[in-house]
Structure 1
């Protein structure tokens, strides 16, 4: 996960961007946090939406609150790439979305399905890498983040339980937590504009 910071730094450098803010959803949350932790002189702020805590995080029952499909998939990932590939080839589990998520995907976020479909058109390699990163070592500690950090999470999320966002907010000394009790993993994205406003406000202070 830590390698994401180097990638982001290289892209920003190529674009002549000195300082920047970062935002990540779901599996992208840890990569955004990597940038904030490892590039403290460049990252002005970070938003994590429905992000996972580190695998085996102290004081967190890591699998508690995941839907059954997610538990099976992530346990397979913890057993390694071969086990995960086998699981995905044999599984017909649907994502553990809530009714709120389904409504979001049928409405304003319907385009999200097309993005995922396009991402998987070339194979499941990226999807597998994402799962493996979710259960792998991060290579940094969120406690080292000094930039303003916002953790946004839905209380009904069964893809990444809200306890993960709460753990991260406790771990990160600069954190603010927005817990939306009626949202799931996708419907929480309806709060994205407000989160971007928060990010811009805090980045401007930097």
Structure 2
């Protein structure tokens, strides 16, 4: 469905539907993705009686681009999505580029976010001196430091380095998470705006302090992640006041998504008694 906003923008929203008694999970997609509800997500939430929703961040799919958006801007859009769907509270899950946006919602919407899962997520750029150490390809984010125009120029010649993924990552993309790879291709075919604006947002002040997040946070990271090193989650776990770390030493950036069903069980246990 499409939500028309007062400022003239449009957000594309996806919803499996459900009753008021269901735990609702808000999925924040990676970079680049379209926000579509991927089959592994739908299956894992359906097995647990959860409602699943997501939206395409500005610049992806049919969501209007919003150059200059920050990571914190996601919270404003999420309020509009939740209000349009008549949903009071959600547990929010973000993978890779979606994880900072999930944290933003927890920081800025504590009355509407009951719990957070960060899978292979980034830490703020200036959070620690080894922020880029271990990244197979950091050129896009380094270009984003110079602003949107520089990041857009970089996009004109940027090519994905297949060694950014481990053998386990490729196996996941050829198997249970094949839909993720297909969706990334669809997002790229739709143009670079969403990814450019994501990277500029990551390389800029996020607009909130992770140390102020009150809802419980589960941080999950793979020890073989070549896209976002595990040091990012190690910083998060030292900074977030109510967080626990699930370190999966054999996983990479995509293969860590095998932990998704277990993270949903964590949400169920953590939010018991907090729903409607």
Shorter-chain TM-score tier: over 0.9
- How far off is 1:195 after superposition? 0.7
Counterparts of 1:180 and 1:166, CA distance in 2? 12
1:4 match: 74
2:188 counterpart of 1:120 = yes
Which of 105, 109, 116 is 1:35 aligned to? 105
- Select 1:63's aligned residue among 114, 132, 150: 132
Aligned to 1:99: 167
* Alpha-carbon distance, 1:93 to partner: 3.7
Preserved CA contact (<8 Å) 2:155 2:192: no
1:18 Cα offset (Å): 1.2
Using CA pairs under 8 Å that are at least 6 residues apart, name the structure with larger relative contact order, 1 or 2: 1
Contact 1:4-1:31 within 8 A present in 2 as well: yes
Alpha-carbon distance between aligned partners in 2 of 1:202 and 1:140, rounded to the nearest angstrom:
24
How far apart, CA to CA, are the structure 1 residues paired with 2:153 and 2:77? 30
Tell whether 2:238 aligns with 1:155: no
Question: Hey, what does 2:152 align to over in structure 1?
Answer: 85
* Worse-matched range after superposition: 152-161 or 121-130: 121-130
Number of equivalent positions: 203
> Are the counterparts in 2 of residues 60 and 167 from structure 1 also a CA contact under 8 Å?
no
Q: Give the corresponding residue for 2:239.
A: 171
Contiguous gaps of at least 5 residues in structure 2: 1-70
Give the superposition deviation at 1:92: 2.8
Question: Cα offset for 1:154?
Answer: 0.4
Runs of 4+ aligned residues of structure 1 deviating over 6 Å after TM superposition are none
CA pair 17-91 structure 1, distance change in 2 beyond 3 A: closer
Question: Normalized against structure 1, the TM-score is what?
Answer: 0.94
Match of 1:193, SS? helix
For 2:87 and 2:157, how far apart are their aligned partners in 1? 45
What is the RMSD computed on CA atoms of the aligned residues?
Answer: 1.2
Gaps of 5+ in 1: none
Mapped partners of 1:3, 1:143: distance in 2: 18
Q: Distance in 2 between matches of 1:46 and 1:5?
A: 13
CA distance 1:60–1:199, change in 2 (3 Å): farther
**1:167, distance to aligned residue in structure 2 (A):** 0.5
What's 1:129 paired with?
Answer: 197
Higher helix share: 1
TM normalised by structure 2 equals 0.71
CA contact (8 A) 1:100 1:187 kept: yes
Is 1:198 the equivalent of 2:198? no
